[in-house]
A and B are shown apart, each in its own frame.
Chain A
């Protein structure tokens, strides 16, 4: 079996994910790109595990086991990530990463713009919450 095919495919997947993380503006798309990168790594893990265990007498297939771990953790990660994006969207009315610059130097946590935005969005959030509970 040739190792080149899965390796090239995984490199392509990783680069696509990296481009998405660096260039996309929507937070959900950034999360999806992260998933792509993780899956590229998974592919690599499986491929190299097979390639290495070919010559070995006995193998534990630890690469494949690690892939299962990665998939499970990726599922949890995307769940939390989407929840955060949802909360940010409900709070701010946007999920555009370029507009979420609270950690910038000189940005005041209770500055006028963000405070005003919060005030307008808070009743809506409260309304949605009551809706959800009902």
Chain B
């Protein structure tokens, strides 16, 4: 088969798997698991073949137009360059791991068939985004991902948290998608095509009239999808979904779509210096704010969610300094280790019976209960904290190195120096904070002492094997790939530079050591070890059930979904007065409630009043006259047949006479 055929099959197979899963889910339960796992695995093999054949050389570019659609043509275009090929491999690999893991994680779930089908559909939508060469086709995948994330985040719809989170995820991403759509139209009108290659050609020739406006509109959609400030608030709440969904959607695919989109259209973004500066500021605020918030979260998955936002901030930061190679490099390594972190967190939640770090820190021997999760999570946390030689170190140093090149003026690109400074400083601060919260997570989860954790039984093999599979790229991807990747990408050097490496690693080590010292200090006081926490004890239940209960009981037990009154938490001492606002995400949700939700609600009640009291009064008034007429006419209905027939006869006679008169012309 040609490379083009293979590349078309990559998104098509999971889509067919999803269709078959949805159709056969009830009729043939035995086929659900193979139908979920096999298409994704085959798709992974095909994506790897495509990547191998493409080899970073000439991009595979194929196009067909189904039907003429009027002014700007919409074409089914395929465009696979080095970025697309490698991102597709990442997406299919993570999706395959997630499908295998889910088979064990939700093994007793009655809604598993529809869940697995939606995960497949989600994967195919992301692959469509990755492989598409036409922005309208890309938008189709983009929106399908939105609706799939709505369904998957709301998988436990029995709990109010999941319902609220799914709605919030959908609405917030849609809030970004509306300007995104307008931006796409404006872009296509200027360029005369939705094809990415043509648009980039138009950018080179200066054919885009208002690049800043278009780019800012597109940026809104990217911020919504990739969870960047100020549209990031949906992602921490989306942790109410099942853990494998968090791993798939909120680590490797959906949030990566926004970064990938900018990487595709980077020359367009470079055309506007203002937009690059906005991108840099957005990335910096996202990075630093989310790292602070992650340090205060009590739910283990919310820590990871905020860390995802922060790592996405690194990627947008790399794009803001016009180095998409570094951005996609970080996207790849982050996809691997963040998926591992989420899946390991799922195992830990199952083993501990709680998602609260405060409760875990009062449990002894959790690391013996889930040894696979302990070792793989340690690897992934080291990668997250960018400690050499783990993969996160190389990709993060690539980002910081790109920013340093811009600052020192080595880079001949179009990024403004201000963007370089912003990204570099925020990146270093975030490196410190990232190491701090990674250390805090590790200490609280694995170094607790107290009563032994309740036994939830062995984790299924499908769940633990996947962890080790993902641990390999988390450990070695960066070190092995940083020399080869520039060949696939733009050719920018991705080797870590000495200055940023020393600074970044120093910051990370400092963060880790400070947190460790604080933890020793807070746990030294016996008074600090107040009993705290609830545990969902379901020895026979599957991991999904345990997690549902953990999510549902967190708010009643601790008073808040993200916060626990734990005096021995090192994050509390480190953040000081900032701890409470950081736990609440700096009250951004409250701000949105005051600024947006309340006015909309007030407007809705006003409209309801107008409709019920004003509009309906007119309608009723208009109905009065016909009703009176009807009442008058109804009086003729006496029930006597003979009266009716008499009236009929009289009418007939009148008509006949009239007809005769007309006919005779009288």
Contacts and interface: CB of A to CB of B under 8 A. Distances in A.
Interface of A: 18, 21-23, 30, 97-98, 100-105, 107
Contacts of B640: 97-98, 101, 104
Contact of A104 (B637, B645, B646, B649): B637
A16 B63 CA distance: 87
B530 interface: no
B645 A103 contact: no
B285 to A, nearest CB: 73
B498 to A, nearest CB: 97
Contacts of A102: 639
Contact of B645 (A22, A98, A105): A22
Interface of B: 634-635, 637-642, 645-646, 649
Contacts of A101: 638-640
B637 A105 contact: yes
A112 to B, nearest CB: 17
A22 B652 CA distance: 15
A105 B634 CA distance: 6
Given A22-B645, A101-B640, 9 more contacts: A18-B649, A22-B642, A22-B646, A98-B640, A98-B642, A100-B641, A103-B637, A103-B639, A104-B639
A107 B637 CA distance: 10
Nearest to A107: B639
B468 to A, nearest CB: 77
Contacts of B649: 18, 22
Contacts of B639: 100-105, 107
B651 to A, nearest CB: 14
8 contacts: A22-B642, A22-B645, A23-B642, A100-B639, A101-B640, A102-B639, A103-B637, A104-B640
A21 B637 contact: no
Contacts of B638: 101, 104-105
A101 B639 CA distance: 4
Nearest to B644: A103
Contacts of A23: 642
B632 to A, nearest CB: 11
A105 B644 CA distance: 13
B645 to A, nearest CB: 6
Residue from A21, A23, A30, A105 having most chain B Cβ neighbours under 10 A: A105
Contacts of B642: 21-23, 30, 97-98
Contacts of A97: 640-642
Contact of A105 (B635, B641, B646): B635
A98 B642 CA distance: 8
In the A-B complex, list the 7 residue pairs whose CB atoms are closest, starting with the nearest: A104-B639, A101-B639, A105-B637, A105-B634, A103-B639, A104-B638, A22-B646
A18 B634 CA distance: 26
A30 to B, nearest CB: 8
A102 B637 CA distance: 11
A21 B642 CA distance: 7
Contacts of B641: 97, 100
A100 B643 CA distance: 13
A21 B635 contact: no
A66 to B, nearest CB: 21
A102 B640 CA distance: 9
B27 to A, nearest CB: 49
Contacts of A22: 642, 645-646, 649
Residue from B634, B639, B649 having most chain A Cβ neighbours under 10 A: B639
Contacts of B645: 21-22
Contacts of A105: 634-635, 637-639
Nearest to B636: A105
B635 to A, nearest CB: 6
B336 to A, nearest CB: 76
Residue from B635, B637, B641, B646 having most chain A Cβ neighbours under 10 A: B641
B649 to A, nearest CB: 7
Contacts of A104: 637-640
Contacts of B635: 105
Nearest to B638: A104
A14 B645 CA distance: 15
A106 B640 CA distance: 13
A64 B304 CA distance: 96
A43 B639 CA distance: 33
Contacts of A21: 642, 645
A72 B649 CA distance: 26
A102 B642 CA distance: 14
A130 to B, nearest CB: 32
A100 B634 CA distance: 18
B406 to A, nearest CB: 88
Contacts of A98: 640, 642
Contacts of A30: 642
B646 to A, nearest CB: 5
A18 B645 CA distance: 10
